[in-house]
Structure 1
Amino acid sequence: MNKPLIIIGCGGHASVLTDILKLQNRSILGYIDDNPLVRSSPRHIIGDNQKILEYHQDEIHLVNGIGSVGSTKKREYMFRKFKKLGYTFENIIHPSAIIATNVVLEEGVQIMAGVVIQPGVVIGANSIVNTKASVDHDCIIGEHVHLAPGVTLSGNVHVEKRCHVGTGATVIQGIHIGEAALVGAGALVNKDVKKGVKVLGVPAREVGTAIRYQEESHD
């Protein structure tokens, strides 16, 4: 039995998730947000993050509606916070997505419209595979990763946790992308990417340190 849902956040990413859930006739209790200005909007916002604690862990599931542009920090923080408190995050899959039968999707994974995921793929918890991304056979995607719209991963690509792969980027077969790296939009990645770096261009070249890696290093 599907449980009613509370969506964390109410920005653009939450709007996309809401549309998917409506297509599936899921029950949404409301949205929560810590920003009091946001809570004055017409959307059905039921309170701040503490509101979730009024519901027992067995009563509801959560949806992580916080997007991942530039930094995954807040999205990851909310996921970890409520997991420690015993809550479960719903997997969200658009009905148009094509997913092979032996794909592993861990908790809280979100698969958007037009995505194709081929056999042998593993996608870690709280990761986003965004609109029309293509993930070929035997790729391993870590936790808290964002594959932005139109990303193409060829076979046997390994993307470690906390990475962001930007819109329209292409990663050729067998590449390894290190933890907390950032691949810029439109990049062509034809060699391994080190932990915590930012790469841009065709072919992709290292241009500095990723913001998400800097944040993690100072926590």
Structure 2
Amino acid sequence: MREELLPLLILGAGGHAKVLLEALLREQHKILGVVTPDLDSGTDYLGVTVLGSDEAVFEYDPQEVLLINGIGSLPGKQRRWDLSVSMRQRGYQFGSIIHPNSSIATDVLFAEGVQLMAGTIIQPGCSIGRDSIINTGTQIDHDTIIGDQSHLAPGVTLSGEVQIGNNVHIGTGAKVIQGITIGEGSVIAAGTTVYRDVPSGVMVRQQVSTVIKELKD
């Protein structure tokens, strides 16, 4: 995980925030508190104090803290991205997280706010755009480019030289074959194998499993 000189504020208190918080505590980062409208101020959340709703952030100088976006990412849900935009407009910056149990090539490029979860493998020549999530156990092979605000769910596999646009969601366990391009704003459903380029703004879903025949005793 990258060294962060500034103390951290965690935005959100759901499942994604819990996973991020565990990684940060493991690395002994200084965490000032959790910001969420879903829990009462002063509540203990995994050993960290809840400071209040989003307005609690504004009690801190933007030059003296880094934010960690703990809001999860699902297709059609804008809360995570809207919060990032509004906080940046007020001068705040977002820290990146690289889980200590990930394997990242030394030349991989990361923009601000990237989150790489446990078991992530990223090979040489790749770049990850701003605020993107590379979730648990995802494997990204060489020379792959991932745009801003995209989410690769747990267990995704990208073969080499894949290009992923901005605001793309790739569901759990999906596989993308080498050299494929996926356009901006598209959604790849869980378990899908992508063999050809995907245009912007579409959903791709592999055929649901069907019963072929009944097995007799």
TM-score exceeds 0.5: yes
1:68 to 67, 73, 76: 73
1:202, distance to aligned residue in structure 2 (A)? 6.2
Tell me if 1:128 matches 2:133.
Answer: yes
* TM-score scaled by length of structure 2: 0.89
Equivalent residue, structure 2, for 1:109: 114
Return the alpha-carbon distance in structure 2 between the equivalents of residues 141 and 54 of structure 1.
34
Listed as ranges, the gaps of 5+ residues in structure 2 are: 209-217
Tell me if 1:29 matches 2:32.
Answer: yes
1:146 to 151, 160, 163: 151
Tell me if 1:20 matches 2:23.
Answer: yes
In structure 2, the CA distance between the partners of 1:100 and 1:202, relative to structure 1 (3 Å rule), is farther
Equivalent residue, structure 2, for 1:209: none
**Would the aligned equivalents of 1:189 and 1:202 in 2 still touch at CA under 8 Å?**
no
In structure 2, the CA distance between the partners of 1:45 and 1:164, relative to structure 1 (3 Å rule), is same
**Would the aligned equivalents of 1:72 and 1:144 in 2 still touch at CA under 8 Å?**
no
Tell me if 1:79 matches 2:84.
Answer: yes
* TM-score scaled by length of structure 1: 0.88
Which structure shows the higher helix fraction? 1
Listed as ranges, the gaps of 5+ residues in structure 1 are: 204-219
Alignment of 1:151-162 (within 5 A): 151-162=156-167
1:115, distance to aligned residue in structure 2 (A)? 0.4
Equivalent residue, structure 2, for 1:10: 13
What's the C-alpha RMSD, in Å, of the aligned pairs? 1.5
Which one has the largest radius of gyration?
Answer: 2
**Would the aligned equivalents of 1:72 and 1:162 in 2 still touch at CA under 8 Å?**
no
Return the alpha-carbon distance in structure 1 between the equivalents of residues 76 and 24 of structure 2.
25
1:194, distance to aligned residue in structure 2 (A)? 1.2
Return the alpha-carbon distance in structure 2 between the equivalents of residues 159 and 119 of structure 1.
16
Q: Partner amino acid for 2:126?
A: V
Residues 18-40 of structure 1: CA deviation (Å, up to 9, x unaligned): 000011001111111134xx336
Return the alpha-carbon distance in structure 2 between the equivalents of residues 71 and 152 of structure 1.
22
Q: Partner amino acid for 1:13?
A: H
